[in-house]
Amino acid sequence: MHSKPFFTHLIGNLMTTRIDDADRGSVLFTCSLGKEPHFFIRQNSLIFRQKHQKDLVLFSDSESPDKAQHLLNALTEALVRRQKTKLFWRNLFFGLGFLALLAIGSHGLLSETHTTDDIPLARADSASAPLLPEENAIEKGLMQEPSPALTTLAHNLRDAAQRKIFTVPLTTGHSRTIYVFSDPLCPHCRDLEPTLEAIGKKVNIDLFPVSLIGKKATADQVIPVLCASPEHRKALWHSLFDDPPLTPSASCDIGEKALAVNNKAFSAYGFRGTPQLISDDGRPIPLSALKNEDTFSSFMNAEPQEKKDE
C-alpha cells in the first residue's frame, strides 16, 4: 500500500500541509513560521522547533516510520522554493537598481526638465493657458537631435514599465507612450492630474511614483498602491487626490523596494523636480508642450532636425 503524498504551501509565514491533493486534500497541519524555524525527526515523529518556543510534534506514525521522512522532504522542498523566490526578487531589484543608477550622461541633455518652482499647469480645457517660461521651449524640444543617452533612457523606462512592478498604468491602448515621475504630495503634480487625464485619451501614460516631496508621508501612501495588482493601481492612485485621501492599508516588501528603485532612477537620470514627463523617444516634455492638444501633438510627432535637413 502506497503512502499518500504530502503537499505543502507557504503564504507569507503561514505553512499549510495537505494529504493526497494539493488543493482539496485534508489539512494535516497549519503553523506559523516565526524566527529561525527548524524541522527534524525524532522517534518517527516530525518535530517543529523555533526560537523561544517549545518543540511541537506535527506528525507521528509509529507503524510507518517512512511517512515522517516523506513529510520532512515535502516541507524542505517548500522552504527551498520560497528561498529561491526571495533570492529571485532580491536579485531583480538589485539589478534594476543598478540599471537605474547607471550614468547615462543626461544631465546636460535634460536641461529642459522643470523644477517644483515652475508655473503650475492649468487644466487642459482651460480658456487661459499658463504663461510660457520660454517662448522657444517647444521649438527646442522639437529640434533636439537623437542621442544614445535619450535612447537609453527611453529603453530603460519602457522595460521598467513592462515589468508592471514600478508603475501605475493610467491609460493604455494607444500607439505612443509618455512616462511621468510624480509625487502625490507635490502641488504641481496634483495640478497636472487633469491634464494627464486629457492627454491620456491620445497616449498611454505610465506613471512612476516617487517620494521626492513628501518623503515618508508619500511613501506611506504610494507603497500600498504599488503593492496592488496593476489593473487596480489607477483607481488607488486617483484616490490619493481625494480630500481626505483614501489610502489603501495593505503594504508589502515589493512595493517598498519598487518605490526605492524609482527614487534612485529619478536621481540617477538627473531630474530636478516633479512632475517630470518623458516621451517614449527619451525627450523630456516641457510644460509648454502641454499648452493645448495641438502643441502636445506637434511635440510628440516632431521629427529630429537632421531628418528635416535631408
DSSP 265: H
pLDDT in tens, 84-128: 766 666 555 555 554 555 443 343 334 333 433 333 333 333 222
Q: Is residue 207 part of a domain?
A: yes
Same domain for 150 and 258, yes or no, is yes
Q: Mean pLDDT throughout 7-29?
A: 81
Same domain for 300 and 210, yes or no, is yes
pLDDT in tens, 43-55: 878 888 887 778 8
Least confident of 9-18, 141-150, 163-172: 141-150
Percent with pLDDT over 90 in the chain = 35
Q: Please check whether residue 223 is in contact with residue 211, taking contact to mean a CB–CB distance below 8 angstroms.
A: no
pLDDT for residue 104 = 39
The confidence band for 60, taking pLDDT boundaries of 50, 70 and 90, is confident
Q: What is the mean pLDDT of the chain?
A: 76
Q: Is residue 30 part of a domain?
A: yes
pLDDT in tens, 174-209: 999 999 999 999 999 999 999 999 999 999 999 999
Least confident of 13-22, 227-236, 301-310: 301-310
Least confident of 66-70, 85-89, 291-295: 85-89
Domain endpoint, select from 58, 87, 116 = 87
Same domain for 304 and 176, yes or no, is yes
pLDDT for residue 48 = 85
Same domain for 143 and 243, yes or no, is yes
The confidence band for 132, taking pLDDT boundaries of 50, 70 and 90, is very low
Domain endpoint, select from 55, 87, 119 = 87
Same domain for 68 and 206, yes or no, is no
Q: Is residue 93 part of a domain?
A: no
Task: Name the range with the highest mean pLDDT among 17-21, 162-166, 207-211, 239-243.
Answer: 207-211
pLDDT for residue 195 = 93
Q: Is residue 98 part of a domain?
A: no
Same domain for 291 and 150, yes or no, is yes
The confidence band for 72, taking pLDDT boundaries of 50, 70 and 90, is confident
CATH number, domain at 158? 3.40.30.10
Cβ-defined contacts of 174-178 (< 8 Å, 24+): 174/202, 174/203, 174/204, 176/202, 176/203, 176/204, 176/279, 176/280, 176/300, 177/203, 177/204, 177/205, 177/206, 177/280, 178/203, 178/204, 178/205, 178/206, 178/277, 178/278, 178/279, 178/280, 178/285, 178/300
Same domain for 168 and 301, yes or no, is yes
Same domain for 55 and 159, yes or no, is no
Same domain for 275 and 235, yes or no, is yes
Our separate counts of H helices and E strands in the chain read 9, 10
More confident position, 249 or 114 = 249
- Other C-beta atoms closer than 10 Å to the C-beta of 177 total 21
Q: Mean pLDDT throughout 149-154?
A: 84
pLDDT for residue 245 = 62
pLDDT for residue 233 = 93
Q: Is residue 136 part of a domain?
A: yes
Count of domains for the chain: 2
| Closest by CA position to 13, among listed 31, 30, 33 | 33
pLDDT for residue 53 = 78
More confident position, 240 or 35 = 240
Q: Is the pLDDT of residue 280 over 70?
A: yes
Q: Is the pLDDT of residue 71 over 80?
A: yes
Same domain for 123 and 191, yes or no, is yes
Domain endpoint, select from 25, 53, 87 = 87
Q: Please check whether residue 216 is in contact with residue 259, taking contact to mean a CB–CB distance below 8 angstroms.
A: no
**What is the pTM assigned to this prediction?**
0.56
Q: Is residue 16 part of a domain?
A: yes
Same domain for 156 and 237, yes or no, is yes
Residue 127 domain boundaries: 107-308
Least confident of 59-68, 117-126, 149-158, 163-172: 117-126
Same domain for 201 and 58, yes or no, is no
